[in-house]
Structure 1
Amino acid sequence: MTLSGQRKIILLAADGVHENEVLSIRERASAAGMNLVIASLTGAALQSVNGLDKGQLLEPDMAVDQVKPEDYDALVIPDGLYSVDALRGNTLVIEIVTKFLEEGKPLGVIGHAPWILIESGLVTNRSLSSWHTLRVDILNAGGHWVKSPVHNDMALVSAASSDYIEDFLDRFISEVQSGVHTSRGAAPGKDKVLESSEESFPASDAPGWVSSSEREEES
């Protein structure tokens, strides 16, 4: 743990990650005096997206197999359908996420990122928001889906989409500053837990970009 000094946040991402989320997280972490470290699956540059379009290439600091959870105070996983799908299929990513959940360290997830928490098997009795199409997945995993743009369940902070990045970061940065949670309980009175909803959220990203493997083939 590094809570006695500068807070360190690890961000996990793959090709297809939302550019605006990564940049916003980096900016807010820096403004709060925190150190953000970005890890990709292989250490290769990340092809980010902006809606249907390619975003900029983002340079990570390390590969996932170099991440030591004990070196970090918090974990954040941005949205991006293809990024999250790639991450949830990686055993090391699941091990890292599980470690943070078990130890009560601050963990932030946006949009589709709760898929990775579901893979960990630790969603049971947890409440969280997500992209609306994950509602049934969360319920089937034993969790409670929350109809809210942003939600806190202890140090687990979740957001429905990029549209709520500023509110998400307000809460996430506050959790990182507070440190590890040692007791259960969602933030009282802020959000209403629902197990069904007809609410619609903005459209997700589509593949208007190419992955790192496709970039290599093109070159």
Structure 2
Amino acid sequence: MEMKLKGKRVAILATDGFEQVELTDPRKALDEQGAETHIISPEKGTIKAWDMTNWGDSFEVDKSIDEVSADEYDALLLPGGVLNPDQLRTNQKAVQFVREFFQSGKPVAAICHGPQLLIEADVVRGRKLTSYPSVRTDLQNAGAEWVDAEVVTDHGLVTSRKPDDIPAFNRKMVEEFREGVHVQQHA
């Protein structure tokens, strides 16, 4: 089997309350394609997932946000969950980390509530994307064109609405991450 992402390093930015399947399934798809993935979080140690209706598993943080730079990674994955992006968007280092991927044209994939962090990083204006329906108005108010589709791609930015969309999300994420830098990806 061809390893489409061999040699690529992918940052997964998350904190407590991320939707478990929105991290585990995309990470598995990336790992299966040969990517090296790191869970990045504001704090070292472990972070706790939300699993649909209750707390889920704990996951080891590979590196804290203080230890990394976007320069060290080829792409960024932003899992959703209601609590996760809400906490991350108040952390200026996390917001700057996201913004740096856009400034350097690197691909980014965000699912469900994950695009809330994109709003805070001020990178959605003039972009087409999707999200969990409750984030629609926030995205539109931030200047994005919101589309109700299982996956939307806009110059290296991949977005999906919910866990049911993960198969389509994973396919497009792998494709965009494989392509690498997108000239029209911008902050």
Q: How big is the shift at 1:90?
A: 0.5
Q: How big is the shift at 1:5?
A: 6.5
For 1:145 and 1:18, locate their aligned partners in 2 and report how far apart those are by CA, in whole Å. 22
Q: Which amino acid aligns with 1:85?
A: D
For 1:123 and 1:161, locate their aligned partners in 2 and report how far apart those are by CA, in whole Å. 19
Q: How big is the shift at 1:26?
A: 2.1
Which residue of the partner structure matches residue 18 of structure 1?
19
- The 5 Å alignment of 1:21-36 reads 21-36=22-37
- Residues 37-62 of structure 1: per-residue CA shift (max 9 Å, x gap): 10111112111111112211111101
Which residue of the partner structure matches residue 181 of structure 1?
182
- Residues 119-141 of structure 1: per-residue CA shift (max 9 Å, x gap): 11221101100011111111111
**Are the counterparts in 1 of residues 79 and 110 from structure 2 also a CA contact under 8 Å?**
yes
CA root-mean-square deviation: 1.4
In structure 2, stretches of 5+ residues that fail to align are none
- The 5 Å alignment of 1:1-219 reads 6-183=7-184
**Are the counterparts in 1 of residues 6 and 35 from structure 2 also a CA contact under 8 Å?**
no
Q: How big is the shift at 1:36?
A: 0.5
In structure 1, stretches of 5+ residues that fail to align are 185-219
- Which one has a bigger Cα radius of gyration? 1
SS in structure 1 of the partner of residue 18 of structure 2: coil
**Are the counterparts in 2 of residues 79 and 109 from structure 1 also a CA contact under 8 Å?**
yes
Which residue of the partner structure matches residue 194 of structure 1?
none
For 2:76 and 2:65, locate their aligned partners in 1 and report how far apart those are by CA, in whole Å. 13
Number of matched residues? 181
**Are the counterparts in 1 of residues 45 and 60 from structure 2 also a CA contact under 8 Å?**
yes
Q: Which amino acid aligns with 2:74?
A: D
For 1:168 and 1:20, locate their aligned partners in 2 and report how far apart those are by CA, in whole Å. 12
SS in structure 1 of the partner of residue 77 of structure 2: strand
For 2:113 and 2:64, locate their aligned partners in 1 and report how far apart those are by CA, in whole Å. 21
**Are the counterparts in 2 of residues 79 and 162 from structure 1 also a CA contact under 8 Å?**
no
SS in structure 2 of the partner of residue 36 of structure 1: strand
Instruction: Extract structure 1 runs of 4+ deviating beyond 2 A.
Output: none
SS in structure 1 of the partner of residue 167 of structure 2: helix
| TM-score (structure 2 length as normaliser) | 0.93
Q: Which amino acid aligns with 2:10?
A: I
